[in-house]
Every structure is written in structure tokens, then in C-alpha cells.
Chains A and B, each alone.
Chain A
């Protein structure tokens, strides 16, 4: 891919930047305490999987200034290297999220002109903003990024938020705070089948597909016009249109279109547009791929499987005493559920080197879901490849990411046990040469709803959002092996507190997650909360769909109801 050259440039600049930073580090005090004492580390005596299927035991890895310098059992260790003893630890290449939106904010809604005509809205209002760069809406300090890094992700292609053509993607690294952490800009043009709602054109998939075709065709004509104008006199000047110009790198096949799809029908629709127009395509958010595997292969489309798995609604359904019809219907849901879990295995079997997208998924589910996919036929090597080498190849960054070799970015996941084994925990994540440490003192309990901490009771929480600090109460009860609860919060409509039911309460080890919805201004906002409980304290994050992620901390109220 010719992307590579651009990356090389970025990488060069980036390494230079790190070096400069490093050289000035000695002379100054560091009130933040974040600056590293050294950028050189050696991790000793670990079991290192340099790429899927290639594992060496009792090996060392030397990283310096964000790059892997050497991997092996016999390497020279420079004296400035900080030594990390890693006996009994397992090292893997850092995970790559081939399409994510952690840290990506929503652009402000474009203002409608006074002569707004819903049948012909300005591009910006209609969600047609392919000229936008996701980086303009990216907050590298977002707690969402910490959430994903905590489970092993070190690098991501981030997609912009918006309508049918929200803008251009970029590739970022989940490294330290000193850097912009940008590896490459304008890496793909994002597209999806949803417009900005039905109130304006294009309102449905019908309109979106027609509009995409028209834009593509006119981008071709506009580019042709520009070329003619550049080489001839006496021609009318081209009308410069930033929407059409934003298509040019796609027309030239310098970047792919990354199409957000859901099921097989949307995959077919995206591939129909691809076939008609001939662009390079990445399908992102793939589910239900089984009927279209041949179609995907024929189109040579790249596949990003959704990390989200459906909820199991039938496992606990007791239908033995129900009618035959209910039993038969339940059996079909069960089959559909099992087929959904098998998607990764089916793609592997078909020889499609897929990667994952985190969009729509929760970081806390990552390792659980990967294990489910493996139980359903995905090989461990393919699972690791989907997190490392495959996304590197799909994004065209395999020269410097995806595996652990000399000269590659120092991105790795360091675990207490082999990656997909039951009690594997992440002890460190190294991203861009920065080491992030995690608490592995508490053993997880396998995640089947068993809590090692008492979650039930009344909690008082506070959350800090840009709008200020607010708080309320969470009341969690245990009913059988399930948790129920309610949460109070400042009523968005004003006037005291409002309350919502806590849904999907999931307790695993000392990890607690749940969601609830808040109705504000006529719409329902989904809020996802996740974090860890230590003793009587909960510290975590609250994710508001489209608005960002904010810290949420809670303490248990010590009264008799909590006994």
C-alpha cells in the first residue's frame, strides 16, 4: 500500500519528537510526575509471542524510545535500561483496534440555514462531511482510551462520528500524554447507511445509497474537470466543492472506504456500491457474515468483525413446560445465537484474515467474548492474529506494528498467564514504549456472575462532567443469582432527582458494570458505567453515548440495609 510512505514520514517525525523530548528531560523538574526516567526497558525471562504462532520461552525484550530493539534470550542490555523481571509472564504484541471511536467526540450539529429546504439540505447538515478529520474531534486523554488500553489495545484506527459520510479516519497510538499520539491522518473515508434522520434528504438507506452513487460519480467528473482545466486554456473553471474533493483519494485508491455495516444485507449493499464504483473497501462492524462469505471473498473486501456478541436470551429460558410452538421458536433463537458466536470461526475457516472493531462493544467484554469465540471454533492463533497482525495488514501498518520484532513499535500486552486461558490477567500494557501497570492482586472469579465483593447495598456516587459535578444514589439488590437496581441522578428536565432502572448489571471479580437510560429533551440517552470495586469504594467511568466518558466514583453507605 502506498500509505506506507506517509507512515514512514510520520514515524520519522515521531521518533525525532520522542528523542527531542528525551534529551530535554534531564534538565527540568517534572511537577506532573509523568515523565519517564528512562525510555529504555528490558523485560526479562518472559514467554514472548512475537506474532501468532511464534512463541519463545525464557526470552528477553529490549525497548528503547518506543521501539523494539531486540527480542531473544541472548541480547545486550544497556546499562540505562530499567529491568522488569517477568518470570512467569506472557508477552504478546499490543492489540490493534481496526476501527474504534474511543476518545472521539461528536461534532456540533451544523446550523440550519434560514432558507433550509429538507429536500436539498447543505451537505454539512445532511451528515455529508467527508472532508472532516476525526482528529479534530479526538481527545487523546479520554478515559475511554484508558478503558481499551487496560484490556490490551495499544493502537487504533479511529472513525469520526456523524452522518452517512462523517469524515476521514486516522490512526492513533494509546501512548503517553506527551505526544499527540497520531500515527497517520486521512487513513480511510468513513461511510454508513444512516443519514441524519428522516427529516431531510437522504433520510433512509434508499436515499443514502442513491446519494453515495451521485457523489461518487460527480467526484469522478469533478476530478476529470480539474485535470482538464489544469492542462488546457479556454475552459470554464471547475467549481471547487470540498465534498467531492474529499473523494479524490478514494477515487485514486490511495485510501479505502470504511463502510459501517451490520448484517449480511448491509454487507451486500456496501459491496454493491463497491462493485459499481470500484473503490477499495473495508467492512466494519460485521455480524451475520455466514451467508455472504463467498461474496466478501469475491470482492476482496477487508472484514472487521464486531467485538460485540448478542446477549444470550435463551440459555436460562425454561421452556420444558411450554407449548411445542414456544419450544420450537426458542430452539431457533438458540441456533441463531450459536451461529452468531461462530462467526469468527466461520471467517477463519473461509480463509478471511479478519480484524476486529471495538465500535458498539464494551471494553470489559473483550476477553470474555474472545474466549466465547474460541469455544465456538476460532483458533487461538487466529484470535490473536485478528488482534495484531491482521489489523496491521488491513491498515497498511505492518511495517511497524502488529508483531514484536526489532524496529517495530514497542506495543505489547503482558499477562499473568497464556492470553486465552481462564485466569489470564493483564499486568502491564506497553504502548509506544510507555508502560502502564495494572493491579492483578485480586483473582478474577471466571466472570459467571459470582462477585468476590458485596455489590448489593446503597451507594452514593459523584460524577464529574464538563457541566459540573453531580451525583446520586445507586441501590443494588441481589435476587437469586441476578442483580437489580436503580440509580438516581439530577433530573435533566430540572427540579430534583430522577431515577432509572439499572440494566445489564454485571459483576465479575471486583469489576462492576451496568447501564441505564436517561430521557432528556425527548430522547433517550444510554449511559454505560463500568469500573472496579475495592473494599467499599467504586471507581470507574460513565460513558454517555455520543457525549464522551467521565469519571464516576461511589462509596457504599454504611447502614443496616447493607448487611
Chain B
């Protein structure tokens, strides 16, 4: 029967594509490229040999048998771009119902079919930090994704050797959603700080309760009563124990400095500030007490607290010794983070290496994965992008993108329709317009009455 054949053929090609794209490790030899290592300068006419997902050798006249060889003469090879703040490939972004939701996990809602992942790959992005939104003072645990597009299993995308991270948020978003929207704490920036401090203090008590219980259990014949379990407080306790890196949505210098002080009071050093439009005012403090700042190149004025901004922010932070990265927070910007980095160079006159670090090794440091990705070094995971021009040129277009040595994007074999799964009953899917969803305040619109909606019709 014709129909059956048709179905089988469709199925077969789908299965082939899926199984071929499982989290496998690839081997490839890229020859004669201009290699932008980021951590070790620029190497002209250099070969990079990838074996089994790992960069094995960097040098000249390398050869390997049974390995695909790519002649990259005249092309530029850089480490896969890392986006330290993204909401791509998530089915839900905000559990915007409580000021603290440290118990929720973005890993639970990863949608590996999101074509946004492929768009990111086409922009050279190999790792993104899929974050909870900014509706709550303390949001959920984020998940660091490797863009192994093609698998239907969310776990295949998880970067399992990345440390745990969590979303915090200061300023207008949490005060608007909770304080003004629902009439509870936090209503002001002071309230946000109080919510966070109270959370940590409760977590300390919680931890003590469980320690006491576990201690009591050790006594022979003892029958201690188990305390209540609370993932929310357990996660906060893990932050206090240094097991989780905070990534905090923030804009204003005063609240950034306030949270730095809160963290110092609780002995927390694993904190990265995100957006940080007024970061240039507290650059020395950020350099001394934090894991850095992840900023926009030139995006501001979408709400009151983001008016005091400058395109020199990334450069000022970098020159003050702050680990600085440039993030997308958007399914659109994620496609050209190399341009965004280029803007920081255009304004702040950073050198090429400093500029490329903004989208490679620096975000890797902020995600705790700099020993694995973020630069082209022997022994690191082979996340690589090949550009036709220098990636900081406005003419640069990514040609190929590799994750773990496996090619997931090739501009020469780039079909129009790269969706993995298609609705059986919608001929025009809303997915074509879905980039609007990949934002910090996704899903919290309903909290706002007319006042809030009109004044704050923005997304970060």
C-alpha cells in the first residue's frame, strides 16, 4: 500500500535523524584555520584534531585516519559561543506564584524540540544557560544546556558536568509581580533584600534541624521524629554551602551592592549578576566579591530602572577586572551574540581577545564550566564554530557549529525546515513566532492590571 510506504519512509527518516543525533561524541580534523583560542592568542594556519568529542591536538600538519577532514583555509575557528542568560527550549519560564521558588527546576521543563536551539547553533552558540524567569526574588534552579539538537530526550541536552545554578531577581520585576500584583512581600527593593535574607536564615534553621535529626538517628535505639522535608529551603542551604551558583537579574547599582553585602554576610561567593546595566558604578566591588557580570551590549530604557545605561558597560567592567560576559536573554539575540560582543569592542575599544572572551571563556567561568569549554585548548570539549570572516567583523557568518565534535549546523546543508516535531493538526504553527516567549518575564503578564501592563510592556 502506497500510504503505508509513505508513513514508513517518514518514520524511518525521523528515526535515523534522531538516533544519529543522540548525545554522541564526534571526531573531526579541521585544517589550516585561523584559530582564535581566546586563552592562548590567535594561531594562523593551524589544525585542530578532535577525537571522540575532545580537542586532542592543536598544531600544524596534523593527520588522522578515518576522520572527516575539513579544509578551513581562510576561515576562522573559535570556541563555541556560550550564552549565560537564555530561556530557549523551555516549556515554562516563570513559576511566578511565590517570592521564593528555589524548589523548581528548569530541567523538568526542557523542550528539546524547540527550533530556537537550531537557530542558536546557526549563530554559533553551543551552550546556553536555560534560566528561570525574573518574577521571583529567588527563582528556580537553572539548567546548562549543550545544543545537541536532534534528540527528543531533554536529558541529552543537559550538560551533566556543569554545576548547579539558580536564578535570583532584584528590582522592579519581583516587586511588581508580588508586591503590587498580589499584595505581599516584596513590595520594594528593601523587601526583596528582606525576602532573600529571611530565606537564607530559614535555610540555616532548616539545615540545623536535619543535622540534629541525623545526629540523633546515630544513637543506637533512638527513635527521633523526622522533620518536614522542604526542597525550597534545602536548595537555599545548598547555596549557603557553596554548591549552587547564583545568577541574579539586576539593574541598579544600589541593589547590586546591597546583594553583594547580603552574600558577604552569609559567606556566599558564588554569585554572578545578570543584566547589570548600572554595573559600571560598582565595578570594583563586582570584581572583588563576585563571579562577574553578564550584560547586554546596548539594550536599555525598556523600563524605569534601566534608563541609566551605557554601551561602555562591558568595557568598563572588563577593565576593572570583572569577569564580564554578554548574554542574549532572547531567542533572537542568541543568533548573533558575536555582533553583540562586537558592539562592546566598537564602543569600549576592547581588544579582540577581551571581546571574544565576553561570549566564550567568561560566560564559561560564570557557569562554572571554564575547565571544560569556552576556549580552544587540548583536552577541552570540542565545542567549536567556524566563521567565514573574523567573528567580530560585521561580515562574519557562522559556517559550521560543532558540539562535542559533532556537527549540528552546516550552512551548506541547512534545510528550510529544521523542526523536529510538527503538529498533526496545525498547518501554520505558532512556533514561527515563538521567539517572543524566550524572555525573562514570560508567563507573568496575567499578574498585571492596566497600570502594570502599559507601563512595563517589556520583557527582561
Known: A332-B419, A339-B11. A210 touches B229 (CB 8 A): no
Chain B, range 1-29, C-beta contacts under 8 Å to A: 3-4, 6-7, 10-11, 18
How many Å lie between the Cα of A337 and that of B6 in the bound state? 12
Q: Which B residues touch A312, using CB under 8 A?
A: 425
B182: CB under 8 A from chain A?
A: yes
Shortest beta-carbon distance, B113 to chain A, in Å?
A: 8
B153: CB under 8 A from chain A?
A: yes
Known: A117-B184, A214-B229, A225-B226. A337 touches B424 (CB 8 A): yes
Q: Mark B391-419, 1 if CB is under 8 A from A, else 0.
A: 00000000000000000000000001101
A204: CB under 8 A from chain B?
A: yes
**Segment touching A, from B77-85, B104-112, B309-317, B339-347:** B104-112
Q: Mark A268-289, 1 if CB is under 8 A from B, else 0.
A: 1100100000000000000010
A535: CB under 8 A from chain B?
A: no
Partner of A339, one of B7, B225, B417: B7
Partner of A336, one of B99, B417, B424: B424
Shortest beta-carbon distance, A480 to chain B, in Å?
A: 20
**Segment touching A, from B87-95, B267-275, B280-288, B292-300:** B87-95
Shortest beta-carbon distance, A361 to chain B, in Å?
A: 15
**Contact, CB under 8 Å: B231 / A207:** no
**Contact, CB under 8 Å: B422 / A199:** no
Q: Which A residues touch B6, using CB under 8 A?
A: 335, 338
How many Å lie between the Cα of A292 and that of B421 in the bound state? 14
Shortest beta-carbon distance, A232 to chain B, in Å?
A: 5
**Contact, CB under 8 Å: A340 / B424:** yes
A377: CB under 8 A from chain B?
A: yes
**Contact, CB under 8 Å: A221 / B446:** no
Q: Mark B415-439, 1 if CB is under 8 A from A, else 0.
A: 0110101111111000000000000
B154: CB under 8 A from chain A?
A: yes
**Contact, CB under 8 Å: A333 / B225:** no
A320: CB under 8 A from chain B?
A: no
**Contact, CB under 8 Å: A268 / B153:** yes
**Contact, CB under 8 Å: B422 / A335:** yes
**Contact, CB under 8 Å: A217 / B229:** yes
**Segment touching B, from A86-94, A323-331, A405-413, A460-468:** A323-331
Number of interface residues of B (CB under 8 A): 55
Shortest beta-carbon distance, B236 to chain A, in Å?
A: 14
Q: Which A residues touch B111, using CB under 8 A?
A: 265
B351: CB under 8 A from chain A?
A: no
How many Å lie between the Cα of A289 and that of B56 in the bound state? 40
Number of interface residues of A (CB under 8 A): 59
Q: Mark A203-234, 1 if CB is under 8 A from B, else 0.
A: 11111011001100110010011001100100
**Contact, CB under 8 Å: B152 / A291:** yes
Shortest beta-carbon distance, A202 to chain B, in Å?
A: 7
Shortest beta-carbon distance, B170 to chain A, in Å?
A: 18
**Contact, CB under 8 Å: A204 / B7:** no
Q: Which B residues touch A311, using CB under 8 A?
A: 425
Chain B, range 173-194, C-beta contacts under 8 Å to A: 178, 182, 184
How many Å lie between the Cα of A312 and that of B227 in the bound state? 54
Partner of B97, one of A198, A213, A218, A310: A198
**Contact, CB under 8 Å: A272 / B108:** yes
**Contact, CB under 8 Å: B108 / A269:** yes
**Contact, CB under 8 Å: B97 / A119:** yes
**Contact, CB under 8 Å: B103 / A313:** no
Q: Mark B110-145, 1 if CB is under 8 A from A, else 0.
A: 010100000000000000000010000000100000
Partner of A232, one of B95, B103, B223: B223
Known: A264-B152, A338-B6. A203 touches B425 (CB 8 A): no
How many Å lie between the Cα of A229 and that of B229 in the bound state? 18
How many Å lie between the Cα of A202 and that of B97 in the bound state? 7
Q: Which A residues touch B232, using CB under 8 A?
A: 214
**Contact, CB under 8 Å: B416 / A335:** no
Known: A328-B417, A339-B7. A333 touches B99 (CB 8 A): no
How many Å lie between the Cα of A268 and that of B151 in the bound state? 13
How many Å lie between the Cα of A332 and that of B14 in the bound state? 11
Q: Which B residues touch A11, using CB under 8 A?
A: none
Beyond A205-B109, A206-B132: 18 further Cβ-contacts under 8 Å?
Answer: A119-B178, A198-B96, A203-B95, A203-B97, A204-B92, A204-B443, A207-B97, A209-B104, A210-B104, A213-B231, A221-B226, A228-B225, A235-B225, A269-B109, A329-B427, A335-B10, A337-B425, A339-B424
Report 13 cross-chain contacts, Cβ distance below 8 Å, ordered by A residue.
A199-B446, A201-B98, A206-B109, A213-B231, A214-B229, A214-B231, A224-B226, A265-B111, A291-B152, A332-B422, A336-B424, A337-B425, A338-B10
